[in-house]
Protein backbone atom coordinates (compact mmCIF):
# COMPACT_ATOMS: atom_id res chain seq x y z
CA UNK A 1 0.00 0.00 0.00
CA UNK A 2 1.45 3.34 -1.07
CA UNK A 3 1.34 6.16 1.50
CA UNK A 4 1.40 9.84 0.64
CA UNK A 5 4.07 11.91 2.34
CA UNK A 6 4.90 15.60 2.82
CA UNK A 7 8.39 16.58 3.98
CA UNK A 8 8.85 19.79 5.98
CA UNK A 9 12.54 20.69 6.04
CA UNK A 10 13.31 18.70 2.91
CA UNK A 11 16.75 20.23 2.27
CA UNK A 12 18.15 19.70 5.77
CA UNK A 13 20.01 16.62 7.01
CA UNK A 14 16.83 14.85 8.15
CA UNK A 15 15.06 15.72 4.92
CA UNK A 16 17.91 14.38 2.83
CA UNK A 17 17.98 11.13 4.81
CA UNK A 18 14.20 10.86 4.42
CA UNK A 19 14.61 11.21 0.66
CA UNK A 20 17.08 8.30 0.69
CA UNK A 21 14.55 6.13 2.54
CA UNK A 22 11.74 7.09 0.16
CA UNK A 23 13.82 6.46 -2.96
CA UNK A 24 14.80 3.04 -1.64
CA UNK A 25 11.09 2.20 -1.29
CA UNK A 26 9.28 3.94 -4.12
CA UNK A 27 6.48 1.37 -3.94
CA UNK A 28 5.79 2.40 -0.32
CA UNK A 29 5.66 6.20 -0.58
CA UNK A 30 4.47 8.95 -2.89
CA UNK A 31 5.67 12.46 -2.07
CA UNK A 32 2.98 15.12 -2.19
CA UNK A 33 4.92 18.21 -1.10
CA UNK A 34 8.36 19.35 -0.02
CA UNK A 35 9.13 22.46 2.05
CA UNK A 36 12.46 24.25 2.36
CA UNK A 37 13.86 27.45 3.85
CA UNK A 38 15.86 29.73 1.56
CA UNK A 39 17.72 27.50 -0.90
CA UNK A 40 15.53 27.49 -4.00
CA UNK A 41 17.97 25.45 -6.07
CA UNK A 42 18.29 22.68 -3.45
CA UNK A 43 14.53 22.53 -2.90
CA UNK A 44 13.81 22.32 -6.62
CA UNK A 45 16.35 19.54 -7.00
CA UNK A 46 14.76 17.64 -4.13
CA UNK A 47 11.26 18.12 -5.54
CA UNK A 48 12.38 16.73 -8.91
CA UNK A 49 14.29 13.88 -7.30
CA UNK A 50 11.21 12.81 -5.32
CA UNK A 51 8.68 13.62 -8.06
CA UNK A 52 6.78 15.84 -5.63
CA UNK A 53 3.58 17.59 -6.66
CA UNK A 54 4.28 20.86 -4.82
CA UNK A 55 7.33 22.71 -3.51
CA UNK A 56 7.15 25.55 -0.99
CA UNK A 57 9.94 27.88 0.12
CA UNK A 58 9.67 29.73 3.44
CA UNK A 59 11.54 32.75 2.09
CA UNK A 60 9.26 34.74 -0.22
CA UNK A 61 12.28 36.36 -1.89
CA UNK A 62 13.23 33.02 -3.41
CA UNK A 63 9.98 32.44 -5.31
CA UNK A 64 11.20 33.60 -8.72
CA UNK A 65 14.33 31.44 -8.42
CA UNK A 66 12.25 28.45 -7.35
CA UNK A 67 9.87 28.84 -10.27
CA UNK A 68 12.79 29.17 -12.68
CA UNK A 69 14.38 26.00 -11.33
CA UNK A 70 11.07 24.13 -11.66
CA UNK A 71 10.19 25.43 -15.12
CA UNK A 72 8.72 22.71 -17.36
CA UNK A 73 8.80 20.18 -14.49
CA UNK A 74 5.05 20.22 -13.86
CA UNK A 75 5.71 20.77 -10.14
CA UNK A 76 3.61 23.53 -8.56
CA UNK A 77 5.42 25.99 -6.30
CA UNK A 78 4.95 28.82 -3.83
CA UNK A 79 6.78 30.81 -1.18
CA UNK A 80 6.05 32.48 2.14
CA UNK A 81 3.74 31.58 5.02
CA UNK A 82 0.72 30.95 2.78
CA UNK A 83 2.70 28.47 0.68
CA UNK A 84 3.84 26.59 3.80
CA UNK A 85 0.23 26.29 4.93
CA UNK A 86 -0.80 25.15 1.45
CA UNK A 87 1.88 22.47 1.62
CA UNK A 88 0.67 21.06 4.95
CA UNK A 89 -2.98 21.30 3.85
CA UNK A 90 -2.42 19.14 0.79
CA UNK A 91 -3.52 15.52 0.83
CA UNK A 92 -0.89 13.48 2.70
CA UNK A 93 -1.21 10.63 5.17
CA UNK A 94 2.20 11.29 6.77
CA UNK A 95 4.00 14.56 7.42
CA UNK A 96 7.71 14.39 8.21
CA UNK A 97 8.28 17.52 10.32
CA UNK A 98 11.97 18.48 10.25
CA UNK A 99 12.04 22.27 10.03
CA UNK A 100 14.67 23.29 12.57
CA UNK A 101 14.02 25.69 15.43
CA UNK A 102 10.96 27.61 16.56
CA UNK A 103 10.29 28.45 12.90
CA UNK A 104 9.03 24.88 12.55
CA UNK A 105 6.38 25.15 15.26
CA UNK A 106 3.58 26.81 13.26
CA UNK A 107 3.77 24.61 10.15
CA UNK A 108 4.18 21.45 12.22
CA UNK A 109 1.14 22.35 14.32
CA UNK A 110 -0.81 23.24 11.16
CA UNK A 111 -0.01 19.75 9.85
CA UNK A 112 -2.15 18.19 12.60
CA UNK A 113 -5.08 16.88 10.59
CA UNK A 114 -7.54 14.11 11.58
CA UNK A 115 -6.12 10.65 11.01
CA UNK A 116 -2.66 11.80 10.04
CA UNK A 117 0.67 10.60 11.33
CA UNK A 118 3.34 13.18 12.20
CA UNK A 119 6.90 11.86 12.01
CA UNK A 120 8.33 14.44 14.38
CA UNK A 121 11.89 15.75 14.16
CA UNK A 122 11.14 19.32 15.28
CA UNK A 123 12.01 19.59 18.98
CA UNK A 124 10.39 22.97 19.46
CA UNK A 125 6.89 21.63 18.85
CA UNK A 126 7.18 19.80 22.17
CA UNK A 127 9.70 21.93 24.06
CA UNK A 128 7.87 25.22 23.41
CA UNK A 129 4.28 24.04 23.20
CA UNK A 130 4.26 20.39 24.24
CA UNK A 131 1.07 20.42 26.30
CA UNK A 132 -0.92 22.28 23.63
CA UNK A 133 0.59 20.33 20.72
CA UNK A 134 -0.06 16.89 22.20
CA UNK A 135 -3.57 17.87 23.36
CA UNK A 136 -4.45 18.94 19.82
CA UNK A 137 -2.90 15.76 18.40
CA UNK A 138 -5.05 13.63 20.72
CA UNK A 139 -8.18 15.64 19.97
CA UNK A 140 -7.70 15.24 16.23
CA UNK A 141 -6.65 11.60 16.37
CA UNK A 142 -3.14 12.32 15.08
CA UNK A 143 -0.38 9.87 15.90
CA UNK A 144 2.95 11.49 16.73
CA UNK A 145 5.91 9.24 15.94
CA UNK A 146 9.37 10.34 17.10
CA UNK A 147 12.16 10.57 14.53
CA UNK A 148 15.03 11.52 16.85
CA UNK A 149 17.16 8.40 17.28
CA UNK A 150 16.86 8.53 21.07
CA UNK A 151 13.08 8.84 21.23
CA UNK A 152 12.57 6.36 18.43
CA UNK A 153 14.73 3.85 20.31
CA UNK A 154 12.62 4.43 23.43
CA UNK A 155 9.42 3.99 21.42
CA UNK A 156 10.68 0.62 20.22
CA UNK A 157 11.92 -0.39 23.68
CA UNK A 158 8.55 0.39 25.29
CA UNK A 159 7.04 -2.41 23.19
CA UNK A 160 8.76 -4.88 25.54
CA UNK A 161 6.38 -4.10 28.43
CA UNK A 162 3.51 -2.05 29.74
CA UNK A 163 3.53 1.63 30.68
CA UNK A 164 2.66 0.92 34.31
CA UNK A 165 5.85 -1.11 34.66
CA UNK A 166 8.25 1.60 33.46
CA UNK A 167 10.58 2.85 36.17
CA UNK A 168 12.85 5.02 34.05
CA UNK A 169 13.59 5.93 30.44
CA UNK A 170 17.15 6.90 29.56
CA UNK A 171 18.41 8.69 26.47
CA UNK A 172 22.07 8.62 25.54
CA UNK A 173 24.52 11.36 24.58
CA UNK A 174 27.86 11.05 22.86
CA UNK A 175 29.17 13.72 25.21
CA UNK A 176 29.91 16.02 22.29
CA UNK A 177 33.33 17.38 21.33
CA UNK A 178 34.18 18.41 24.91
CA UNK A 179 33.43 15.14 26.72
CA UNK A 180 37.02 14.76 27.96
CA UNK A 181 37.93 18.46 28.17
CA UNK A 182 38.50 20.28 31.47
CA UNK A 183 36.13 23.08 32.44
CA UNK A 184 38.90 25.61 31.91
CA UNK A 185 39.60 24.39 28.40
CA UNK A 186 35.88 24.32 27.56
CA UNK A 187 35.52 27.90 28.78
CA UNK A 188 37.95 29.06 26.10
CA UNK A 189 36.44 26.97 23.28
CA UNK A 190 35.75 28.57 19.92
CA UNK A 191 32.49 28.19 17.97
CA UNK A 192 34.31 26.02 15.42
CA UNK A 193 35.52 23.67 18.16
CA UNK A 194 32.05 23.48 19.69
CA UNK A 195 30.46 22.73 16.32
CA UNK A 196 32.76 19.76 15.61
CA UNK A 197 30.43 16.94 16.64
CA UNK A 198 32.27 13.61 16.93
CA UNK A 199 29.52 11.40 15.46
CA UNK A 200 26.45 13.06 13.93
CA UNK A 201 26.26 15.42 10.95
CA UNK A 202 23.75 18.07 12.00
CA UNK A 203 23.11 21.78 11.64
CA UNK A 204 25.45 24.18 13.44
CA UNK A 205 22.89 25.21 16.09
CA UNK A 206 22.19 21.61 17.05
CA UNK A 207 25.92 20.91 17.12
CA UNK A 208 26.42 23.71 19.65
CA UNK A 209 23.51 22.37 21.72
CA UNK A 210 25.24 19.00 21.69
CA UNK A 211 28.46 20.60 22.92
CA UNK A 212 26.63 22.22 25.87
CA UNK A 213 24.44 19.11 26.37
CA UNK A 214 21.42 21.41 26.15
CA UNK A 215 20.33 19.13 23.31
CA UNK A 216 19.93 16.27 25.79
CA UNK A 217 18.00 18.51 28.17
CA UNK A 218 15.60 19.47 25.39
CA UNK A 219 15.23 15.79 24.52
CA UNK A 220 14.24 15.02 28.12
CA UNK A 221 11.46 17.60 27.80
CA UNK A 222 10.40 16.00 24.51
CA UNK A 223 10.33 12.56 26.11
CA UNK A 224 8.15 13.89 28.92
CA UNK A 225 5.47 14.90 26.41
CA UNK A 226 5.88 11.97 24.02
CA UNK A 227 5.69 9.25 26.64
CA UNK A 228 3.87 10.94 29.53
CA UNK A 229 6.75 10.39 31.95
CA UNK A 230 7.65 12.53 34.94
CA UNK A 231 10.97 14.34 35.34
CA UNK A 232 12.10 11.75 37.90
CA UNK A 233 11.51 8.97 35.35
CA UNK A 234 13.87 10.45 32.76
CA UNK A 235 17.65 10.48 32.64
CA UNK A 236 20.69 10.95 30.42
CA UNK A 237 23.65 8.61 30.06
CA UNK A 238 26.83 9.53 28.18
CA UNK A 239 27.72 6.84 25.64
CA UNK A 240 30.43 7.98 23.21
CA UNK A 241 30.08 5.06 20.79
CA UNK A 242 26.51 6.17 19.90
CA UNK A 243 25.30 2.58 19.46
CA UNK A 244 22.75 2.43 22.29
CA UNK A 245 20.26 5.25 21.73
CA UNK A 246 17.66 4.69 24.43
CA UNK A 247 17.01 2.36 27.36
CA UNK A 248 13.94 1.49 29.42
CA UNK A 249 14.28 0.28 33.01
CA UNK A 250 11.41 -1.96 34.12
CA UNK A 251 9.95 -2.57 37.56
CA UNK A 252 11.30 -6.13 37.64
CA UNK A 253 14.87 -4.92 37.15
CA UNK A 254 15.10 -5.76 33.45
CA UNK A 255 16.51 -3.25 31.00
CA UNK A 256 15.47 -2.98 27.35
CA UNK A 257 17.74 -1.05 24.99
CA UNK A 258 17.49 0.16 21.41
CA UNK A 259 20.75 -0.32 19.49
CA UNK A 260 21.67 0.75 15.96
CA UNK A 261 24.53 2.27 14.05
CA UNK A 262 24.33 6.08 14.12
CA UNK A 263 22.41 6.58 10.88
CA UNK A 264 19.21 8.64 10.89
CA UNK A 265 17.71 6.55 8.11
CA UNK A 266 17.02 3.82 10.70
CA UNK A 267 14.62 5.82 12.93
CA UNK A 268 13.17 7.67 9.92
CA UNK A 269 12.19 4.39 8.26
CA UNK A 270 10.65 3.16 11.50
CA UNK A 271 8.61 6.34 11.96
CA UNK A 272 7.41 6.43 8.36
CA UNK A 273 6.43 2.77 8.36
CA UNK A 274 4.58 2.98 11.68
CA UNK A 275 6.86 0.73 13.73
CA UNK A 276 7.04 -1.87 10.98
CA UNK A 277 10.39 -2.76 9.47
CA UNK A 278 11.52 -1.50 6.11
CA UNK A 279 14.39 -3.46 4.60
CA UNK A 280 17.30 -1.02 4.36
CA UNK A 281 20.58 -1.50 2.53
CA UNK A 282 22.69 -0.22 5.43
CA UNK A 283 25.74 -1.62 7.24
CA UNK A 284 24.79 -4.07 9.97
CA UNK A 285 25.74 -3.57 13.61
CA UNK A 286 28.65 -5.89 14.41
CA UNK A 287 29.13 -5.84 18.18
CA UNK A 288 32.12 -8.16 18.05
CA UNK A 289 33.95 -5.69 15.81
CA UNK A 290 33.04 -2.78 18.05
CA UNK A 291 34.22 -4.81 21.03
CA UNK A 292 33.31 -2.42 23.82
CA UNK A 293 30.41 -0.12 24.72
CA UNK A 294 31.14 2.45 27.43
CA UNK A 295 28.85 4.57 29.59
CA UNK A 296 29.33 7.39 32.09
CA UNK A 297 27.27 9.90 34.02
CA UNK A 298 26.76 13.34 32.51
CA UNK A 299 28.89 15.95 34.30
CA UNK A 300 26.54 18.84 35.03
CA UNK A 301 29.37 20.94 36.46
CA UNK A 302 31.15 21.08 33.11
CA UNK A 303 27.83 21.03 31.23
CA UNK A 304 25.42 23.15 33.31
CA UNK A 305 22.96 23.65 30.44
CA UNK A 306 21.77 20.09 31.06
CA UNK A 307 21.05 21.01 34.68
CA UNK A 308 19.17 24.12 33.51
CA UNK A 309 16.98 22.01 31.23
CA UNK A 310 16.28 19.49 33.99
CA UNK A 311 15.25 22.37 36.27
CA UNK A 312 12.92 23.76 33.60
CA UNK A 313 11.32 20.34 33.14
CA UNK A 314 10.77 19.96 36.88
CA UNK A 315 9.40 23.49 37.20
CA UNK A 316 6.95 22.87 34.36
CA UNK A 317 4.56 25.55 33.22
CA UNK A 318 6.12 27.88 30.67
CA UNK A 319 9.70 27.34 31.82
CA UNK A 320 10.66 24.98 28.97
CA UNK A 321 9.40 27.61 26.50
CA UNK A 322 11.50 30.28 28.21
CA UNK A 323 14.54 28.00 28.37
CA UNK A 324 14.42 27.21 24.65
CA UNK A 325 13.99 30.83 23.58
CA UNK A 326 16.85 32.08 25.73
CA UNK A 327 19.07 29.27 24.51
CA UNK A 328 18.43 30.08 20.84
CA UNK A 329 19.44 33.71 21.40
CA UNK A 330 22.53 32.77 23.42
CA UNK A 331 23.70 30.09 20.97
CA UNK A 332 23.36 32.49 18.03
CA UNK A 333 25.48 35.04 19.94
CA UNK A 334 28.15 32.42 20.68
CA UNK A 335 28.21 31.30 17.05
CA UNK A 336 28.68 34.93 16.07
CA UNK A 337 31.66 35.30 18.39
CA UNK A 338 29.90 37.77 20.68
CA UNK A 339 30.02 35.74 23.91
CA UNK A 340 32.06 32.93 25.44
CA UNK A 341 30.91 29.30 25.69
CA UNK A 342 29.75 29.36 29.32
CA UNK A 343 27.92 32.65 28.74
CA UNK A 344 25.31 30.52 26.97
CA UNK A 345 24.41 28.95 30.30
CA UNK A 346 24.66 32.23 32.19
CA UNK A 347 22.18 33.94 29.87
CA UNK A 348 19.77 31.00 29.91
CA UNK A 349 19.91 30.72 33.70
CA UNK A 350 19.43 34.46 34.15
CA UNK A 351 16.36 34.58 31.89
CA UNK A 352 14.82 31.48 33.45
CA UNK A 353 15.34 32.93 36.93
CA UNK A 354 13.67 36.19 35.95
CA UNK A 355 10.59 34.32 34.72
CA UNK A 356 10.42 31.80 37.58
CA UNK A 357 8.72 34.10 40.09
CA UNK A 358 5.84 34.67 37.67
CA UNK A 359 4.96 30.96 37.65
CA UNK A 360 3.50 31.15 34.16
CA UNK A 361 1.22 28.28 33.19
CA UNK A 362 2.09 26.00 30.30
CA UNK A 363 0.94 27.60 27.03
CA UNK A 364 -2.57 26.41 26.19
CA UNK A 365 -2.15 27.25 22.50
CA UNK A 366 0.65 27.62 19.99
CA UNK A 367 -0.06 31.35 19.85
CA UNK A 368 0.50 31.59 23.62
CA UNK A 369 3.73 29.61 23.31
CA UNK A 370 5.04 31.92 20.61
CA UNK A 371 4.12 35.01 22.66
CA UNK A 372 6.10 33.68 25.64
CA UNK A 373 8.91 32.68 23.29
CA UNK A 374 9.10 36.24 21.95
CA UNK A 375 9.11 37.77 25.44
CA UNK A 376 11.88 35.43 26.56
CA UNK A 377 13.91 36.26 23.46
CA UNK A 378 13.68 39.97 24.28
CA UNK A 379 14.84 39.26 27.83
CA UNK A 380 17.75 37.15 26.55
CA UNK A 381 18.74 39.86 24.06
CA UNK A 382 18.78 42.41 26.89
CA UNK A 383 21.09 40.21 28.95
CA UNK A 384 23.19 39.55 25.91
CA UNK A 385 23.83 43.27 25.60
CA UNK A 386 25.27 43.23 29.10
CA UNK A 387 27.66 40.36 28.33
CA UNK A 388 28.93 40.99 24.82
CA UNK A 389 32.69 40.57 24.77
CA UNK A 390 34.85 43.50 23.85
CA UNK A 391 36.43 43.21 20.36
CA UNK A 392 39.79 41.49 20.40
pLDDT score recorded for residue 388: 61
Please check whether residue 168 is in contact with residue 249, taking contact to mean a CB–CB distance below 8 angstroms.
Answer: yes
Mean pLDDT to the nearest integer, 27-42: 96
Provide CATH code, domain 3-146. Answer: 3.40.50.720
Tell whether the model's pLDDT for residue 389 goes beyond 90: no
Give the residue, 196 or 391, on which the prediction is more confident: 196
Mean pLDDT to the nearest integer, 65-88: 96
What are φ and ψ of residue 29, in 5° steps? -135, 145
Nearest to 93 by CA among 271, 291, 265, 326: 271
The residue ranges of every structural domain in the chain are: 3-146, 149-262+284-314, 316-392
pLDDT band at 203 (very low <50, low <70, confident <90, very high): low
Q: Which residues contact 356 (CB under 8 A, 6 or more apart)?
A: 315, 319
pTM: 0.94
Mean pLDDT to the nearest integer, 255-260: 96
Mean pLDDT to the nearest integer, 186-191: 96
Mean pLDDT to the nearest integer, 291-301: 96
pLDDT band at 337 (very low <50, low <70, confident <90, very high): very high
Tell whether the model's pLDDT for residue 355 goes beyond 90: yes
Bridge partner residues of 255 (DSSP) = 249
Q: Which long-range contacts (C-beta less than 8 Å, at least 24 apart) are formed by 370-377?
A: 370/102, 370/105, 370/106, 370/128, 370/129, 372/318, 372/321, 372/322, 372/325, 373/102, 373/128, 373/321, 373/324, 373/325, 374/325, 376/321, 376/322, 376/325, 376/326, 376/351, 377/325, 377/326, 377/328, 377/329
Q: How far is residue 245's CA from residue 242's CA, in Å, rounded to a whole number?
A: 7
Is 316-392 the same fold as 3-146? no
Q: How far is residue 38's CA from residue 27's CA, in Å, rounded to a whole number?
A: 30
Please check whether residue 247 is in contact with residue 257, taking contact to mean a CB–CB distance below 8 angstroms.
Answer: yes
pLDDT band at 118 (very low <50, low <70, confident <90, very high): very high
- Average of per-residue pLDDT values in the chain: 94
Please check whether residue 143 is in contact with residue 118, taking contact to mean a CB–CB distance below 8 angstroms.
Answer: yes
DSSP letter at 231? Answer: G
Q: How far is residue 193's CA from residue 178's CA, in Å, rounded to a whole number?
A: 9
Lowest mean pLDDT among 94-98, 115-119, 193-197: 193-197
Provide CATH code, domain 316-392. Answer: 1.10.1740.10
Mean pLDDT to the nearest integer, 46-58: 97
pLDDT score recorded for residue 202: 60
Tell whether the model's pLDDT for residue 358 goes beyond 70: yes
> Which tens digit of pLDDT belongs to each residue from 41-50?
999 999 999 9
Tell whether the model's pLDDT for residue 392 goes beyond 50: no
Q: What sections of 5-123 are H helices per DSSP? A: 13-24, 40-50, 63-69, 81-89, 105-110
Amino acid sequence: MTRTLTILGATGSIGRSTADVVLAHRDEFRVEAVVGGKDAKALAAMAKRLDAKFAALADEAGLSDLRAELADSGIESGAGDSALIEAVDRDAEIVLAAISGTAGLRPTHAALKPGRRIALANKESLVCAGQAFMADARRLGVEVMPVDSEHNALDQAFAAGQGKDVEKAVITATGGPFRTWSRERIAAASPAEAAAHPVWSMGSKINIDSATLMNKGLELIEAHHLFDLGADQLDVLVHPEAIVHGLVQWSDGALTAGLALPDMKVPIANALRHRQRLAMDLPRLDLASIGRLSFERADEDRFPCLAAARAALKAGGAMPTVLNAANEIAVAAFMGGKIAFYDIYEIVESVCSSFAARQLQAPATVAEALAIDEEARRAASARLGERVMAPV
